[in-house]
Amino acid sequence: MLTRRPDAIRPSEITPESVFHGRRHLLAAAGFAGAGLLLGRGGRAEDIPKDLRRLAGVRKSPLSSTEAANSFEDISHYNNFYEFGLDKSDPADYSAGFRPRPWTVTIDGEAAVKGRFTLEDILKPHPLEERIYRFRCVEAWSMVIPWVGFPLGDLIRRFRPTSQAKYVAFETVLRPAEMPGQRSPVLDWPYVEGLSMAEAMHPLTILAVGVYGVELPNQNGAPLRLVVPWKYGFKGIKSIVRISFTARQPRTTWSTSAPDEYGFLANVNPKVDHPRWSQATERRIGSPLFSPKQPTLPFNGYAAQVASLYTGVDLVRNF
């Protein structure tokens, strides 16, 4: 059998498809791993680990989806977080040693207010709210997740970006001692992402600090992550330690590593196939393995709210 060094494998070649890297979850859904492994939908108190702190004063958001949320088990055990490994179960399996406290976030770039701020500084002025959002992965699976967070735009206003700030860039913490996936050359660490200023300021874009009313589990991006519901999941950068305001479009991890597969915008567009699979349909995590797939909606179902951001943009060439 021919083999290659890890550093000779293109990132696009190891990008997991749900059928391959979600094998444990899908086998459970099909009934092969025992009925006890597949929880029903919902955030039952007995399903949520007792070591996750419950967040106080969380209010419901009118921007939430009316769809039933996936179970806490689905949300916390079927994840893409390459810093902990490539398999969907790796983040839950290998993130216990990650320390999300204490935490600081550096604000820099084209802004009047800059500096290094504690997580408490970041959160203090912002009331938390629960937003139930559809969440779409590029590999044609989806979830409905009750995130807890606050609008990114509210935070941006505090730092008073200048007229030169056209984009917002984000960076994940670099801790290979705690994040075993970062010891692999599969990506150029640390993970980086970005949004246009208009996207960042849109009221649907949030910084999440929790899920199902409790603080984020390590595998879901503790303690602070981005959620942009009309984009593919890889735009939702996790464990953020830097937010930068830039005049030019920032480099992003996947559009650099596999530009033929992952563009900067990453808007959900069912008419643009991934080179290795269709984006036209999706399967909801937690549904039976052989149940019918559902059509993928443009902008993940948020077209009425966000399509105007891309007036005049060719969303086939700019994917």
pLDDT of residue 294: 95
Q: HEC states along 171-193?
A: EECCCCCCCHHHHCCCCCCCCEE
- Measure the CA–CA gap between 190 and 176, rounded to whole angstroms: 10
pLDDT of residue 88: 96
- Please check whether residue 297 is in contact with residue 284, taking contact to mean a CB–CB distance below 8 angstroms: no
pLDDT of residue 43: 66
Q: Which pLDDT tens digits describe the chain residue by residue (319 residues)?
A: 333 333 433 444 444 433 333 434 433 333 323 322 233 346 676 789 999 999 999 999 999 999 999 999 999 999 999 999 999 999 999 999 999 999 999 999 999 999 999 999 999 999 999 999 999 999 999 999 999 999 999 999 999 999 999 999 999 999 999 999 999 999 999 999 999 999 999 999 999 999 999 999 999 999 999 999 999 999 999 999 999 999 999 999 999 999 999 999 999 999 999 999 999 999 999 998 788 999 999 999 999 999 999 999 999 999 9
Sheet with 192-196, strands from edge to edge, namely 115-118, 104-109, 240-246, 167-172, 192-196
3-state secondary structure (DSSP) of residue 163: coil
Say which amino acid occupies 57: G
Q: How many residues does the chain have?
A: 319
pLDDT per residue over 55-87, tens digit each? Answer: 999 999 999 999 999 999 999 999 999 999 999
Neighbouring residues of 45: CB distance < 8 A, sequence distance ≥ 6: none
pLDDT of residue 177: 98
Give the gyration radius of the chain's Cα atoms: 19
Domains of the chain by start residue, with CATH: 15-310 (3.90.420.10)
- Please check whether residue 224 is in contact with residue 207, taking contact to mean a CB–CB distance below 8 angstroms: yes
pLDDT of residue 42: 64
pLDDT of residue 288: 87
Dihedral sign of CA atoms 121, 163, 169, 285 in order: positive
CB atoms within 10 A of CB 41: 18
Dihedral Cα 268, 225, 47, 136, nearest 10 deg: 0
Q: 116-122, long-range: CB within 8 Å, 24+ apart, which pairs?
A: 119/223, 119/224, 122/155, 122/207, 122/224
Residue 96: half-sphere exposure toward Cβ, Cα within 13 Å: 5
3-state secondary structure (DSSP) of residue 164: coil
- Please check whether residue 236 is in contact with residue 289, taking contact to mean a CB–CB distance below 8 angstroms: no
Give Cα 18 to chain centroid, integer Å: 16
Tell which residue, 167, 185, 163, 164, has the closest CA to residue 176. 185
3-state secondary structure (DSSP) of residue 41: coil
Residue identified by tokens 């597949």 is: 38
